[in-house]
Structures are given as structure tokens and as C-alpha cells.
Amino acid sequence: MPDSWTFAVARDDLGRTTLTEGTTPALTDGEALLRVDRVGLTANNITYAVLGDSMRYWQFFPPGPRGLGPQWGLPPLWGFAEVVESTVAGVPAGQRVYGYLPPAGHLVVRPDRVDAAGFRDASGHRADLPSPYNGYRSTTGDPAYREDQEDLLVLFRPLFFTSFMLADRVVDHDFHGAAALVLSSASSKTAYAAAFELHGRGPRLVGLTSPGNLAFTRSLGCYDDVLTYDDIDALDAVPTVYLDLSGAPSTRAALRARLGDLLVRDVAVGLTTQIPNADAAGEVFFAPVQIRKRRQDWGRDGLDRRFAEAWQRFAGVVGDWLDVRVDAGPDALRRAWSETLAGRTPPRVGQIVRL
């Protein structure tokens, strides 16, 4: 079998990384081998590592079978892979799929619930992990897929699904009676995708961002107003929902000081400053919970259709907001990780790595 490789980060120091070489394993009955082809690096991937223990993200791709000790972790990535070998009917070699992938050359999966839309990985170590992360969508059975949008899908699909479900949850609760929605880290992809979904549907949308990202965030046109974190005292004193995508304690404290009881909901959505924010927030948004609800309400096909329609609306504009930067190889992945971890990636840049 051809040589393979694995990129890993130290679980206690995400800036310490390693690249190891190995060989791809032989398959047993019921398994398929995926070659990781194209992945993206965003702040979302850093979040997976920051929450690797508490949210079990390290468990998706255990380091042990790759010859690495437990001090190392494989941060999950989203992207496209190709089936290069298979023992499973309905999962042919050459099939291209989108899903949750390791930072490595290959992944062995145990396909289950195989149909025209793709399959789920039924590997034993993933059985108790959140099911939305275990699905692999075939490009030929995915209503949201277009070949010319692959890079946008790599960079945005998981983020946009989170944004889509976040917006859906807020709307489903009638905006919690708020007159304003405030989103921190407003220049981040997850934040402005949620704002795109929510704009014009109810409350006033206000984005909070750093001075350096103020012009970019205002240029998007999906917020009614954009303020810097130092200008929180300029917020209108009206019933407000806070969607926290930054995790910065100082921002939460300033909002509570400004709004008091008018802060009717305080929701932790993600982390872009690597500071766990769940304990300090009033509640935590976890996209798979809303996904399960909507699958019950709408069925899988209904959810897929609604997502595809929303995605095509978003894809029609986001290409003008983003400069896609493509690099190649394991060393490029390592560089992209370090740059993203350090917060050196401008909000207008999307990092793609071909492997």
C-alpha cells in the first residue's frame, strides 16, 4: 500500500505539532478507504481542538492506530475525499464524498446506512459521538453540491450549517421577544453567515468586531450596524439577544453592564478567541440538537432541501466576500494550522489545502 501521513497537535499546547509517516492499513470486510483530497482551515477547526476533551472531538480520529501517543490529538477538518478501495456494496472506488476528515492522508471507515445520498461511518469508536459528524455525502446525491463551488463548500458548509441552524433556532423561538440581536466576532464566517440568514426577518442586527475588521464587516451589508468592542455603550437599551461567537469575558461583562435585565438571552455559540465561554453564558447552542429537531419536523429530505436553498442564496454572494487561497501538501496544512491558531488569517481569506 502507498505511504500515508498524519498531522497531529499536542493536546496541551495546540501550537506544538508533528507530522508522521506511515502506511495505509489493509481493509477488513465492511470497510472502505478514503483518500483525503481537499480540506479547509478556519477558526472552527481551532474550536474543535479547544473543546477536544469537553465535547469529545478528539475521539473522532484516535491517534493510537496511527502510532501516536495519547498526548497527541487529530483536529477534525471538513472537506472532500475519494474512495480508493472498498469492500462495501454501494460504496464504489472513485466515489467522491464530503464530510468530517482527519488531518491525514487516508481514513478507514465502516460504511453503514448506504444510499444514494452517501453513508455513515459505523466504526465502533464513533458510535456514541454526535451523529451529524459521522455522515459522508456523495457528491452525486447532494442537492447542495456544485463542482464549481467545492472550495466554498469546504470553507463554509459546516459553518453555514451551524449558522443556518442557529438562525432557525432563533426564529423558531420568535427571537425570544428581542428587539435586537448582537453577534460578537462579527467578521467571522459563522457569524456573518448567521447574519445573512437573519437579516431583514425581525430584530435589528448588530455586529461587534475589532477595529481592524470594522471596514470589512460593514462592507458585507448583512448587519444593520457594526460596532467595535469599545463602543458597546453605544448599543440601544432595548431587549437584546446576545449570540456569542468570541468567548471573550470582557465583551460579555460589558454587554451585561450596558443592558442589565434587557439582555434577555445570552447564548454561547463558538470560540474564536480560544476562551471557553459555556460556563459564563446563559445557554449553549449545539447545532446537532437543532438538526435532530428539524429532521423530526421536516424529515431528512425536507431539511436537505431547505439547507440547499439557503446555501445557494448564500453562495451567490459570499464569493464576492472571500479570497480563496489554495496551497498543497502536509507542510501547507501545518502552516495553515499555525496561521489560523495565531489569528493571522484575515477575515477575507479562506484557506484551502489540497492533499
Give the residue, 93 or 280, on which the prediction is more confident. 93
Query: Among 73-82, 252-261, 264-273, which is the least confidently predicted range?
Result: 264-273
Domains: count for the chain: 2
AA letter at 21: E
Indicate if 191 and 278 belong to the same structural domain: yes
What is the average pLDDT score of the chain? 93
DSSP state of 58: G
Indicate if 196 and 263 belong to the same structural domain: yes
CATH number for the domain spanning 260: value is 3.40.50.720
Flag whether 267 is in a domain.
Answer: yes
CATH number for the domain spanning 52: value is 3.90.180.10
pLDDT at 22 over 80: yes
Indicate if 88 and 163 belong to the same structural domain: no
Q: Residue 1 has what pLDDT?
A: 39
Mean pLDDT confidence for 218-223? 96
Domain containing 282 equals 156-288
Flag whether 195 is in a domain.
Answer: yes
Q: How far apart are CA 23 and CA 29, in angstroms?
A: 19
Find, among 210, 212, 204, 251, the residue nearest to 232 by Cα. Answer: 251
The pLDDT tens digits of the residues spanning 258-284 come to: 999 999 999 988 655 555 566 677 888
Indicate if 45 and 103 belong to the same structural domain: yes
Indicate if 161 and 282 belong to the same structural domain: yes
Burial class of 32 by CB neighbour count within 10 A (0 to 12, 13 to 18, 19+): buried
Cell of 248: 471573550
The pTM of the full predicted model, rounded to 2 decimals, is: 0.85
Flag whether 303 is in a domain.
Answer: no
Indicate if 140 and 7 belong to the same structural domain: yes
Residues written for the chain: 355
Q: Residue 275 has what pLDDT?
A: 52
**Which distant-in-sequence residues (6+ apart) come within 8 Å of 265 by Cβ?**
176, 178, 241, 242, 282, 283
Indicate if 180 and 284 belong to the same structural domain: yes
Pairing of strands 349-354, 77-86: unpaired
Q: How far apart are CA 312 and CA 307, in angstroms?
A: 9
Reported confidence tier of residue 2, pLDDT bands at 50, 70, 90: very low
pLDDT at 96 over 50: yes
Mean pLDDT confidence for 157-176? 94
Indicate if 132 and 45 belong to the same structural domain: yes
